[in-house]
Amino acid sequence: MKEYEIKKISDYKWELPLNKDFKMRVPGIIFSDKELLEHASQEETLAQVINVATMPGIVNASYAMPDIHYGYGFPIGGVAAFDMDDGVISPGGVGFDIACGVRLLRSDLEYKDIEKKMENLMGNIFTSVPKGIGTKGRIKLTEREINLIFKNGAVWAINNGYGDEEDKYHIEENGCMAGAEPLNVSREAIVRGFEQVGSLGSGNHFIEVQKVDEIYNKAAAKRMGLSVGQITVMIHSGSRGLGHQICSDYLKVMQSASKKYNIILSDRQLACAPINSPESIKYYSAMVCAVNFALANRECLAHWVRLVFEKMFNKSYKKLGMDLVYDVSHNVAKFETHDVNGKEKKLCVHRKGATRSFGPGCHGIPDDYKDLGQPVIIPGDMGRYSYVLLGTKKAMHESFGSTCHGAGRLLSRTSARKKVNGKELQRELFDSKGIIVLADSMSSIAEEAPIAYKDVKNIVDIAEKAGLSEKVAKLVPLGVIKG
């Protein structure tokens, strides 16, 4: 393990100074407390922050969010912005589960309304939503339809009866990201996507029925329709096998492109190409297809959940007040305009395991949240809590409008399985906290054990103290469906 010079800027911000010996073009900036910084040092994550700092055209710094942990190429929790003229695009800076993200549904229900129905409610959601590796969804697509999803995202789902027209206004990019080109998606990726719309997937993906436990910003919570004791539903999923295949396909393309454009890589996993090169243009347009696929997927998942609530309570989801609070992705590259040294510049911002956290008044925030800032949804682990936050003006200068995306893993899936018995954990969570956890396999539950994750409260507190986002509400789990 290498020793790196680390300069303390504040209790929650640290710098890896620009070091020419490491071929760094910019410094590394890590938003963390001392304890989490030490953990990142031990798992070689700092080396990944430094590697990203060596990439052509990187602007200001290589950033790491408080939930940083080791990833492919970029660290998970890594953020980097690249100049349009001499910068690059790298699939490793987006990740395999393109546009994996989180959406939050509110309701007019309170815990007393569902307390005696929880077991049936969770059982019905479990049987209504396809999940797990390779699982087929409830929607079978034609080639024409999957191309329409690539172009229209969640809007396709809404237009086909799998969502509500009002939803799109509370989805990042209004439910559809521009720039998709289906011709740049491989046949292998399309085949993997044909039957996966409306499916949860595996790993850390989940559907969680929650209760609002605490409010920190009453005015913002009221605007979002959140109040203490209220029932909410959080959905965490992404672009499934399709996004994974697109990433895999273009990593091969970028390996060749890096050589073609004489880009010296500090890590081959950072394979990249100039932003305006044919390779990057094709990757970006394929990535957008995966983004829109993920947005459609979460819209359909929310639709299945709403239908279960309708059946359980014999009311329409509209009468139950099951409106979308917000839907935000955390594995994506976007072209955005930011202030760089007092000048407005268009950049390509990579966020891998990091959430956009735009401050009040910024472009891209829904009109009814414009003066508040962009909603940020941060899931924790299935035994503790999750948070709703808002983006800040400070984040625009500190991190290109970025914040954390979750708790961040402490243990690998393999390590978690060795330490935890899934059946025992399932029983313990119910007996001690009343949390109902359902999954197709006990190993899935073991992999997602609370001890496998950092305490998301610490992560969120660091993000808030560093000025990257501010807390609005805390949500606690009542029932969890694991992928």
CATH at 467: 3.90.1860.10
Residue 179, classed as helix, strand or coil, is coil
Is 242 inside any structural domain? yes
Is 236 inside any structural domain? yes
Nearest to 29 by CA among 45, 48, 16: 16
**pLDDT value at residue 136:** 60
Q: In this structure, are residues 176 and 292 in contact, taking their beta carbons and an 8 Å threshold?
A: yes
CA distances from residue 115 to 79, 144, 207, 452, 481 in whole angstroms, order as listed: 41, 44, 18, 28, 17
- Give the single-character DSSP code of 384: S
Is 441 inside any structural domain? no
Is 305 inside any structural domain? yes
Q: In this structure, are residues 228 and 182 in contact, taking their beta carbons and an 8 Å threshold?
A: no
Angle value at C-alpha 319, between 308 and 234, nearest 5 degrees: 50
Q: Tens digit of pLDDT for each residue in 175-192? A: 999 999 999 999 999 999
- How far is 130 from 240, CA to CA, in rounded Å? 12
Residue 467, classed as helix, strand or coil, is coil
CA distances from residue 68 to 54, 74, 76, 340, 460 in whole angstroms, order as listed: 19, 10, 5, 24, 12
CA distances from residue 130 to 125, 234, 352 in whole angstroms, order as listed: 10, 16, 26
Is 430 inside any structural domain? no
Is 233 inside any structural domain? yes
Nearest to 350 by CA among 313, 400, 301, 299: 400
Q: In this structure, are residues 467 and 392 in contact, taking their beta carbons and an 8 Å threshold?
A: yes
pTM for the model stands at 0.96
Q: In this structure, are residues 34 and 41 in contact, taking their beta carbons and an 8 Å threshold?
A: no
- How far is 150 from 186, CA to CA, in rounded Å? 13
Buried b (16+ CB within 10 A) or exposed e, 10-32: eebbbebeeeeebebbbbbbbbb
Question: Other C-beta atoms within 10 Å of 329: how many?
Answer: 27
Question: Phi/psi class of residue 467: alpha, beta or left (left: φ > 0; alpha: ψ in -120 to 50)?
Answer: left
Q: In this structure, are residues 351 and 333 in contact, taking their beta carbons and an 8 Å threshold?
A: yes
Q: Give yes or no: 363 in active site.
A: no
Is 416 inside any structural domain? no
**pLDDT value at residue 317:** 97
Nearest to 293 by CA among 137, 156, 438, 457: 156
Contacts of 115 (CB under 8 A, 6+ apart): none
* Element housing 386 (H / E): strand 386-391
**pLDDT value at residue 1:** 45
- How far is 111 from 125, CA to CA, in rounded Å? 17
Q: Which of 170, 205, 244, 405 is catalytic?
A: 405
Show the domain range for 103: 7-410+453-482
Considering its fold, how many domains does the chain have in total? 1
Owner of token pair 């969890």: 480
Q: In this structure, are residues 52 and 74 in contact, taking their beta carbons and an 8 Å threshold?
A: yes
- How far is 463 from 402, CA to CA, in rounded Å? 10
- How far is 445 from 467, CA to CA, in rounded Å? 34
Angle value at C-alpha 396, between 391 and 397, nearest 5 degrees: 140
Segments in the chain below pLDDT 50: 1
Tokens at 441, concatenated: 């396999």
Is 80 inside any structural domain? yes
Nearest to 80 by CA among 63, 96, 98: 63
